[in-house]
Amino acid sequence: MRRPPAASTFTYSFGPGPLTPAIKVLIAANVAAFLVALVAPAVTLLLGLRPADVVQRLYVWQPLTYMFLHGGIFHILFNMLALWMFGVELERVWGSRYFTKFYFVAGVGAALTTLILSFAPGLGPQLYYSLTIGASGAVYGVLLAYGLYFPHRPIYMYFVFPIPAKYFVMIIGAISLLASMGGPGGGVAHTTHLGGLVAAYLYLKGGRIHLLSEIKYRYLKWRINRMRRRFDVYSGGRADDVDRKVH
């Protein structure tokens, strides 16, 4: 009788695993907004970030809503792919609430950077009347956080060259900085990308004190519990007494 072949132990996985709750909601919201904009293109003009509209028409919602709009299928595809690949592990470490707050801080911070620079001489007039859409500012913030938390993780640039995460973030930050100095071009809002990096860094730097305090508290608590288990003190009698008391 022939034996069935043994089950293969080889497995292949791509990416960080299943979607976490916050990222699942964010991707669904981005896809829904993208589909609505396809049916009603006027939504993009109303919800996209245009500094002139924010200042003159008081469209104060635009620094938030622009993150959910995208200019094409590849624009949303790459943004959502990056959000999944680099955001899932951060949400697992931070929890959904903190990750969601961080995501919006980075995205809105990127928008505020664009608004501020729209008043600068030279670059300002072009930015003031330009329309910015996309989740790239928030995604760049996620990339920065990933580089800080997992600095040695390899990221395949152009899906070919493995680069440690910390250097990858430095490279994309430098590209955005140099590109923004030359003015907006090619439909890419480099100043918004750079603003997302800066906002994310400042937010993490401000919250790092609380994070270190929490880590220190957890570590001390673990050491105390460990010492209690190693050095139990009994009130008397043998160790196998049922009614012994532990101090």
* Nearest residue to 82 via CA among 3, 26, 38, 42: 26
DSSP state of 199: H
Q: Tokens representing 10?
A: 């080889």
What string of pLDDT tens digits covers the 247 residues of the chain?
444 444 333 333 456 788 999 999 999 999 999 999 999 999 999 999 999 999 999 999 999 999 999 988 988 998 998 899 899 999 999 999 999 999 999 999 999 999 998 888 877 778 889 999 999 999 999 999 999 999 998 887 766 778 898 898 888 877 766 665 554 444 457 788 888 989 999 999 885 545 455 555 555 666 677 676 666 544 444 444 444 333 3
Give the whole-angstrom CA distance, residue 195 versus residue 149: 20
Instruction: Give me the residue spans of the domains in the chain.
Output: 21-212
Give the whole-angstrom CA distance, residue 71 versus residue 38: 10
Q: Tokens representing 182?
A: 């030359």
Give the whole-angstrom CA distance, residue 145 versus residue 151: 9
Please compute, for residue 242, the number of CA atoms within 13 A of its CA located in the half-sphere on the CB side. Answer: 0
pTM of the model: 0.74
- The CATH label, of 2.40.50.140, 1.10.3720.10, 3.90.190.10, 1.20.1540.10, for the domain at 21-212 is 1.20.1540.10
Give me the pLDDT at residue 205, please. Answer: 85
Give me the pLDDT at residue 215, please. Answer: 54
Q: Is the dihedral of CA 108, 114, 115, 116 positive or negative?
A: positive
User: Is residue 10 left, alpha or beta, with left meaning phi > 0 and alpha meaning psi from -120 to 50?
Assistant: beta
What number of H helices and E strands is found in the chain?
10, 2
